[in-house]
């Protein structure tokens, strides 16, 4: 009797279990048939969260949403669709989400990434990459290419509609812009740098109001932070200069024609707004190193100008009186190369700050090169403004690779200091340079200051997931390892400079 009762219970349990399996099978079958019959890949064309349009990476079928907070339960979704839609949201990890969008007729899974880096999205007009392939010749991977054979002016400016997420009080800014590839070496790399030109002056993020900005591609720098770190320290080193030529930039993630192209720094273009020149001013951009050949040519030059260049400088703004004024000042400086020629022709504080700055970052590419010289008018002194500081903090050109090489030893290179920084300085200038260094050592050139910037950049690029996405898009790198190398190099560099200037 007991056996029969047990058998009944077993049969009942088995029956319920089989019924459950049958139910699951039928549910999945119906769901699967429903999906196969109705699902359309592009039925949801646009996704908006809290009234902000999401960017779309077509290659990986992923939507991107810029937000400075990650409380996804407060996100309100809207979809560009023919259907009235409901949705469920599931968090995959810190930055990734799966959105199931559904109606009575269909459902669709949407992959979403939330990033704390502002997004700039260029789209709707002809592709800049197609324009480049039509107007720019193929270039061998050779750093010693001839600029005359590969003229950047051949690259066309292409009209785009640009969306800057979070640019106006956390709302998106829409502008028509012209996008143009910029930088000689940038043309060699698959990830391009760009100049962004607006129809009129605008305020983008917390950058000063202007009609031109630069998108720095950061391609050769695996840490992605050298240019912005250098700019931030320049602002602190040069803050006693009454003329404000600070360098400002902001990390962003960029999309072009529904293609994710990675981390960039949006920054000011060195022009009138940065150098504070008047309409009577002049800006000269150094495009080659000022070596002995150029100095000799400079001293014998008759100053005739047939185009927008002068020896190893591009002329960015031209006024005849101011141009002759800056040339005469530079000629006097290169003739005498002493304290009086510096003090008479340059802003002395700015001059000393520049060489301390280049010394700190070990700017191999910034000694008598990669800077702007400007005069506000024909009676003012010369102001120096640095630029293009990715080959710094232990990085230098490599002869056998497209990428630069990192050297910990370069942090203590006495010969580099002797040959590039102090060789032409007289005793009075050297004494002032030394005094300025020790003044900055009190609270600017310190590991606390440098570590503060490194920590903030690392947190931003790692926590947003941007470094991982950029690495997957272009080439593999470990940003934590790269930044740690800079941290170790900087400590050795400061220790070395303390001894050098002691």
pLDDT digits (tens, 9 = 90+) for 16-25: 656 555 555 4
Q: Are residues 134 and 253 in the same domain?
A: yes
Q: What is the pLDDT of residue 243?
A: 75
Q: What is the domain count for the chain? A: 3
Does residue 326 sit within a domain? yes
One domain, residues 71 and 151: no
- Residues 266 and 207: their CA atoms lie apart, in Å, by 9
Burial per residue of 377-391, b for 16 or more beta-carbon CB atoms within 10 angstroms, e otherwise: ebebbbbbbbbbbbb
Q: Which is more confident, 130 or 362? A: 362
Q: Tell me which of 209, 238, 268 is where a domain ends.
A: 268
pLDDT band at 135 (very low <50, low <70, confident <90, very high): very low
What pLDDT was estimated at residue 146? Answer: 34
Please answer whether residues 469 and 479 qualify as being in contact, where contact means their C-beta atoms are separated by less than 8 angstroms.
no
Dist CA 406 CA 417 (whole Å): 18
Average pLDDT over residues 150-154: 45
Containing structural domain, residue 419: 275-500
Residue 195: closest CA among 214, 219, 210: 214
Is 201 found in the same domain as 147? yes
Query: Does residue 341 carry a pLDDT above 90?
Result: yes
Residue 378 covered by a domain: yes
Residues paired with 213 in a beta bridge: 196, 268
Tell me which of 187 and 464 has the higher pLDDT: 464
Report pLDDT for 9: 58
Name the residue among 409, 425, 277 with its Cα closest to residue 356: 425
Mean pLDDT of 421-433: 94
Distance, in Å, from the CA atom of 230 to the CA atom of 219, rounded to the nearest integer, reads 16
Q: Rounded CA gap, 200 and 60, in Å?
A: 35
CA distance 442 to 370: 28
| 111 and 123 co-located in one domain | no
Strands (E), 300-447: 309-310, 313-317, 371-375, 383-386, 395-396, 405-406
Strand 107-115 to strand 62-66: parallel, antiparallel, or no bridges (unpaired)? parallel
User: Are the CB atoms for 99 and 77 separated by under 8 Å?
Assistant: yes
Smallest CA-to-CA distance from 363 within 390, 325, 384, 381 is with: 390
Q: Are 242 and 284 within one domain? A: no
Would you say residue 64 lies in a domain?
yes
Supply the pLDDT for residue 142: 32
Task: Clarify whether residues 263 and 323 are in a common domain.
Answer: no
CA 220 → CA 227, 229, 362, distances in Å?
11, 15, 17
Q: Which of 268, 299, 327 is the last residue of a domain?
A: 268
Q: Is the pLDDT of residue 174 over 70?
A: yes
In this structure, are 126 and 141 located in the same domain? yes
Residues 194 and 280 in one domain: no
Whether 295 and 423 share a structural domain:
yes
Q: How do residues 471-490 score in pLDDT, each as one tens digit?
A: 999 999 999 999 999 999 99
- Residue 345, pLDDT above cutoff 60: yes
What pLDDT, on a 0 to 100 scale, did the predictor assign at position 171? 79
Look at residue 84 and give its three-state secondary structure. Answer: coil
What local confidence, expressed as pLDDT, does residue 397 receive? 78
The Cα 361–Cα 390 span in angstroms is 10
On whether residue 412 sits in a domain, the answer given is: yes
CA distance 264 to 467: 11
The fraction of the chain above a pLDDT of 70, given in percent, is 80
CB count within 10 Å of CB 77 equals: 18
Mean pLDDT of 117-135: 64
The mean pLDDT of the chain is: 83
Do 375 and 484 belong to one domain?
yes
Cα–Cα distance for residue pair 470/297, rounded to 1 Å:
45
- Distance CA(136)–CA(47), nearest Å, equals 36
DSSP-assigned states of every residue in 123-134: ESS--HHHHHHH
Q: Residue 467 class from Cβ within 10 Å (0-12 exposed, 13-18 middle, 19+ buried)? A: buried
Per-residue pLDDT band at 452 (split at 50, 70, 90):
very high
Check pLDDT > 80 for residue 131. Answer: no
According to the 3-state scheme, what is the secondary structure of 346-374?
A: ECHHHHHHHHHHHHHHCCHHHCCCCEEEE
Spatial separation of the C-alpha atoms in residues 230 and 247, rounded to whole Å: 9
Q: Which of 72-76, 220-224, 306-310, 358-362 has the lowest mean pLDDT?
A: 306-310
Task: Please check whether residues 224 and 343 belong to one and the same domain.
Answer: no
- Pairing verdict, β 313-317 and 107-115: unpaired
Residue where a domain stops, chosen among 268, 303, 324:
268
**Token pair belonging to 178:** 């012209």
Convert the pLDDT of each residue in 213-230 to its tens digit: 999 999 999 999 999 999
Residue 5 lies in a domain: no
Residue 18 forms part of a structural domain: no
Is residue 261 domain-resident?
yes
Q: Are residues 258 and 163 in the same domain?
A: yes
Q: Is residue 93 part of a domain?
A: yes
Query: In this structure, are residues 98 and 110 in contact, taking their beta carbons and an 8 Å threshold?
Result: yes
């Amino acid at each position: 009797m007991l056996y029969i009762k047990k058998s009944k219970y077993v049969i009942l349990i088995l029956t319920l279990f089989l019924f459950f399996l049958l139910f699951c099978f039928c549910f999945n079958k119906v769901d699967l048939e429903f999906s196969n019959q109705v699902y359309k890949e592009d039925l949801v064309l646009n996704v908006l969260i809290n009234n902000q349009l999401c960017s779309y990476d077509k290659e990986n079928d992923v939507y991107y949403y810029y937000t400075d907070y990650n409380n996804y339960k407060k996100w309100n979704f809207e979809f560009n669709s023919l259907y009235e839609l409901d949705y469920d949201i599931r968090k995959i990890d810190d930055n990734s989400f799966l959105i199931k969008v559904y109606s009575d007729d269909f459902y669709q899974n949407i992959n979403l990434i939330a990033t704390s880096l502002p997004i700039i999205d260029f789209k709707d007009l002809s592709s800049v990459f197609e324009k480049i392939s039509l107007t720019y010749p193929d270039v061998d991977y050779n750093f010693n290419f001839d600029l005359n054979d590969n003229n950047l002016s051949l690259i066309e400016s292409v009209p785009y509609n640009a969306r800057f997420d979070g640019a106006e009080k956390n709302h998106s800014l829409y502008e028509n812009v012209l996008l143009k590839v910029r930088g000689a070496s940038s043309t060699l790399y698959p990830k391009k740098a760009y100049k962004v030109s607006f129809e009129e002056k605008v305020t983008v993020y917390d950058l000063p109001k202007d009609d031109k900005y630069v998108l720095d591609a950061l391609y050769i720098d695996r840490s992605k932070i050298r240019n912005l770190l250098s700019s931030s320290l320049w602002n602190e080193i040069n803050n006693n200069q009454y003329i404000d030529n600070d360098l400002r930039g902001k990390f962003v993630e960029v999309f072009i024609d529904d293609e994710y192209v990675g981390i960039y720094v949006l920054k000011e273009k060195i022009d009138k707004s940065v150098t504070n020149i008047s309409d009577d001013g002049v800006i000269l951009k150094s495009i080659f190193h000022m070596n002995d050949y150029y100095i000799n040519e400079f001293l014998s030059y008759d100053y005739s100008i047939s185009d927008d260049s002068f020896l190893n400088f591009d002329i960015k703004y031209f006024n005849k009186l101011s141009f002759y004024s800056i040339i005469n000042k530079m000629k006097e400086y290169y003739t005498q190369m002493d304290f009086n020629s510096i003090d008479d022709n340059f802003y002395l504080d700015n001059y000393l700050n520049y060489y301390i700055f280049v010394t700190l970052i070990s700017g191999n590419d910034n000694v008598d090169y990669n800077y702007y010289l400007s005069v506000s008018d024909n009676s003012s002194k010369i102001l120096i403004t640095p630029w293009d500081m990715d080959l710094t903090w232990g990085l230098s050109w490599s002869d056998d690779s497209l990428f630069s090489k990192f050297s910990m030893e370069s942090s203590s290179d006495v010969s580099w200091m002797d040959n590039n920084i102090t060789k032409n300085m007289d005793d009075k200038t050297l004494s002032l340079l030394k005094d300025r260094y020790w003044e900055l050592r009190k609270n600017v050139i310190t590991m606390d200051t440098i570590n503060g910037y490194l920590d903030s950049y690392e947190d931003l690029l790692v926590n947003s997931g941007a470094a991982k996405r950029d690495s997957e898009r272009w080439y593999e790198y470990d940003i934590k390892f790269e930044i740690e190398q800079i941290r170790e190099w900087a400590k050795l560099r400061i220790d070395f400079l303390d001894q050098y200037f002691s």
